[in-house]
Structure 1
């Protein structure tokens, strides 16, 4: 295999992870972004996003010259055989995917492409988008060149994007051109990952179907968790028992306060929008969304039940990002929780190892941001575990409980060690879908 020349449009989680990993396996990669500040930071070999392992590979491959960054489309496209589009497709108000960034990327390509190219769409897009983009490109091309389209959806998890790229479960390649499909297989061949070759529309659907199924699995186990609390069962035992069944599997059977992030919420809603648009009922997706919306409010409801009126109460929130090992706040449960608590006139002190800066931009100053879990817990009437950072599992909870006004913990991620907590003396511990642990001073 010869080294390929690849241009990547977009330096978000997907684009940056993809570009860096393609450079890591030997290709020459130029990443393009219109955000000059972001590109300047990348040129300084500093990552604009928090993602474990990413900055190390950024430095390594920038040093070898295999990875470069630019805001110039002509410069990047003049040196590329393969062009990967990895721009955002955020959710519109009606649930449909917003394709405006993708359309602008296509217009930029049409303006500057001067050689025959394979255009790979890695962005998550509704079925039929690749065909639409091709027509958009062909209709606006400034030069007489041949364009071949490939749908190549990503399946990255934030917090493990590098490993998910280098050790992927599978690579989906959707194309109606055998030559283009073979070229993309050649690009990825060093990864030694299974390929699935499909038509373009099936590749587009695979991405949505995968994410919608995983989101549904999360909502299902959360529905079971709520039922477990009502009947006195333990959802973790139930999930373990289910997971041993090979037809079900244990992944995504972790009860808690629901899913968030940049993918599951918008992808489920986008697929539901498509089903409605095509007149195909899909009530299962509606219920997946409804359960998740309810689950994100679960801790507030538990606190109100235990503490009564929350006005004037202090709540410590540990975790703000939608999941650990990322600073991403998109659709994070902490947003809804913070707003519900402050609407009830509670005082909130929040700590997150990396996401406080981004949280300020989303939640604003309605809550107080502090620099440690201990500071958040001082004088608190209750403590919420919102994100399951490993740091929180390792906390000295005896010291934490000693500074709280009331020794009450609501664990939204079932991530704390019950046995260790019970050794801390009097405590009330409320997990999700499991019996509460209540040790009073006279017990």
Structure 2
């Protein structure tokens, strides 16, 4: 936040104060910051003065609570810093620019990844450049190149001095090496094997970047944007071309020893029948992968567009179900039953307080599928044992989550980047 001269404890305390203020979007008094952060009044006073000077927080009026002097409220200036989120999904590439509240302020949807990663990275870099120019945003460090400085638009020069780009978060399907920033063997993305996407995109944009699984990114986006209670264990189910999961406790996402935690495609859900490629029967992916749903719907005569565009096919499947097609509703319901069985198993393992279902294909399936998942979780949802809800981040959840990864790394206390619990 402030530079390498800060001691570790000083940086932690500053991030802690910022996080405390950020968790109260309507504003919070300095005495409440002291109480919640457990820091001394003097330390909080010094830190808030620095944050005000950096343009990260502002005064937000006054509040009278009982006798005595009114309290000055502090709140985060949401657009003082911006982060970019890139979601590499087999269906399409999404790029968003998010503010400190993880709210998208600009977005672009690009064609799906191809077998030419270098060309795809160039497309992404071009989209990032166009979006940030439209916002007048610029890197956190001052631009030293006179030529680059000359190219700044009038909109850039008119921006508040504190508004800066922090960097890029990249979300992608596993397998990947988050620490090295390399996509190893992501499913449904031919040509992206062993691609050093972090280094390549950072070189193309001049911005720092980081990589994580799309499931971890999506859950981070939920936690960051909604200020979810860190004491809650949260289970997230990501429904895309396949199904993945993520889990958080104490506000931290569990990534496992190699960032592969949550790969549930081969979770046995107790069904006999078709044998999976892994040699076992009853794997979740046999019933929930997007191409399985589309293939079954076509075999039952549900009219779907030709071709390999899963997004268009699932949208048509959802529309057919909404229009009263029993076959379409049956296909989606069976997906929900299989997903519910998996969620029930995962709930038994993790004992979550909150269960969230999201991902790019879930909006097309949720109107029918949610009821089936609820049926599978009936004993977990009684007496407020757990809450089941759909993601509130919409179709851009993966990209918003990717931006949140970078926000969390840079601005949250005690989160130096992807790491196991």
Same fold (TM over 0.5): no
Higher CA-based Rg: 1
TM-score, normalization: structure 1?
0.30
Higher relative contact order (CA 8 A, sep 6+): 2
